[in-house]
Amino acid sequence: MTFDNRLAELLDAATAPVPPGRLTAPLPAIRRRIRRQRAVIALAVTGVAIALIAGFALARSPIDRAAPPGTRGTTPSTTVDLRMQVAWESALLARDGRTVTIYAGPRGECQELVDGTAVITRQDGGQVTIAVRAWIVPTNDCGLVVPLQVRLERPLGDRDVRDAATGEARPTYRESHLPDLRNDARWSPFSVGWTAPDDGWRAAYNGPNGSILSIEGEPGSTAGGDRSNAITLGSRQGTLLDRRSTWAVRWSVGDVTYELSVQPSEGETLTRQEFVAEVSRLAWP
């Protein structure tokens, strides 16, 4: 017998008139029987109501699946990260030897990275593997690379930095190869970006009298340049380059090459001697 049939029988029994032959029973006994039937019915109805409420609550329980920005729930009970794993371009190692900035950007046109994060997925004696996850969304402009930082458990040393998406070692540039401009009050950094795919690195600084100092890094070595244009850069040697309207200096460290240039303020010129003097004032390693 089903629960619904039993409930119907109980309701019928509670509301049915008492047969004439049953009136011989004492009135208190009849009243007790009716009270017991009503109690059973009340318990049954309460159980049905609780079951319906619990089922409704479970059906409405929110599940946050790491939705795109603007659609994420405010009280998630479960989080499933559905962002894409994105291949990244290059890395910059800070002077402390442990802070790594990853530069990642969309490979397609009219796209940009949103809500990106970088996570170390492996560290051992020979390599550090880093994964980047982000949303890739449409944009009206070409998507620029986005800097994302991670902190290593110990200094990187000579270990490779690999991209978890491709398994490849990516170009890694190091602040220890560059002049220390952060502690030079004459120069203040400003944001500069580039579009992917590009495995280089860029930085720029505003300087005295409206001048701009730019530094670029590219994979590959150009050691052994023109010795007649050699210039000392701290513990290293660089090569002077005539850029017509300005001057630049190039140097290589390992498997990467850097280039520093100074652009004078609009309408001004910078002679070779003035450029060499400016470069010599920088704090080189």
Sequence-ordered list of residues with C-beta below 8 angstroms from that of 248, at least 6 positions apart, any chain? 240, 241, 259, 260, 261
What's the rounded mean pLDDT across residues 43-68? 45
**What pLDDT does residue 273 have?**
94
**What pLDDT does residue 38 have?**
53
Q: Regarding predicted confidence, which is higher, 78 or 126?
A: 126
Q: Check: CB of residue 281 under 8 Å from CB of residue 232.
A: no
Indicate whether this model's pTM tops 0.75. Answer: no
CATH fold of 171-285, please? Answer: Protein Transport Mog1p; Chain A (3.40.1000)
**What pLDDT does residue 70 have?**
45
**pLDDT exceeds cutoff 60 at 60:** no
pLDDT tens per residue across span 214-256: 999 999 988 666 677 999 999 999 999 998 878 999 999 999 9
**pLDDT exceeds cutoff 50 at 56:** no
**pLDDT exceeds cutoff 90 at 167:** yes
Q: Regarding predicted confidence, which is higher, 48 or 261?
A: 261
Confidence bin at 140 (pLDDT 50/70/90) = confident
pLDDT tens per residue across span 66-110: 445 544 444 444 577 789 999 999 999 999 999 999 999 987 778
CA distances from 244 to 173, 184, 188, 272 (A): 27, 27, 25, 11
What is the percentage of the chain residues whose pLDDT exceeds 90?
58
| Mean confidence (pLDDT) of the chain | 80
Confidence bin at 37 (pLDDT 50/70/90) = low
Whole-angstrom distance, CA of residue 240 vs CA of residue 231: 7
**pLDDT exceeds cutoff 50 at 62:** no
**What pLDDT does residue 48 have?**
42
